[in-house]
Structure 1
Amino acid sequence: MLEIINVSKTFNIGTINEKKALNKLSLKLNPGDFVTIIGGNGAGKSTMLNMIAGVYPIDGGQIIIDGVDISRMPEHKRAKYIGRVFQDPMMGTSAGMQIDENLALAFRRGEKRGLSWGIKKSEKELYKEILAKLGLGLQT
């Protein structure tokens, strides 16, 4: 669950270039919610994502993930709770990897890594089940 409570962000405070990007934004997402954020240039979409990820500190409010207040955590410590992928739509997220390899990368976020076989059979079955729910034929 992600909860954003009265989060604000202003850039270049006290200068002629001062820009209020977010003003007391609140949002609550529960497990299974699917949300699309839309808006014009300068609407605050990227700022919101950067604040959740910890790229920008918030001026006020709270960001809570699964009951943990991450509002003041540095970006590298938030990686335990949330991941972010930048993608080139022409290349795919990890173009040289199979779908199950991409999913394994996401599912293992925050875990310690060691040397072992790639993806276990049980993981492959889990990914197939998840992909089947999308109805896009990606599970085969």
Structure 2
Amino acid sequence: MRANSSRTPVNRGSHSPKIVGTSAIAHPPPLPALRILRPGQVLPFRTGQEAPVEPFKLDKDERNDAIRRLATYLRNERDEDWGDLAVRLLFDTFEEQIAPAYYNLGISQAQRATRELADVFEVNLESLKRMPRT
């Protein structure tokens, strides 16, 4: 006779509720691993639709203006006169290494604003409910 024969069996499936005694505790499925998507890849949405991932690159005029401002900063604030190619390479490094952090910050702020708007919307909808006449 086994020592654990009187215990309720435990289902250890990855997405199934665990049975402990007479109560079931449902565990949510694990979150998917984060992926870094490259420009041109497709981002799947929960609705089943897909959206292309746009590269976060500035257009030509914005890029040239930003490079000019960076060169001006280096010259005026740091007393360093960098060549055009060096400033462009420095800007490219910032764009590649730092821009994603600011992009993600913008996404986080948009998510927070969306949640706040959804809360207000839900409160407004709740206030429209009608009580039955008694």
State the TM bucket, normalised to the shorter chain.
Answer: under 0.3
Choose between structure 1 and 2: higher helix proportion.
Answer: 2
| TM, length-normalised to structure 1 | 0.21
| TM, length-normalised to structure 2 | 0.22
**Looking at CA atoms only, which structure, 1 or 2, has the larger radius of gyration?**
2
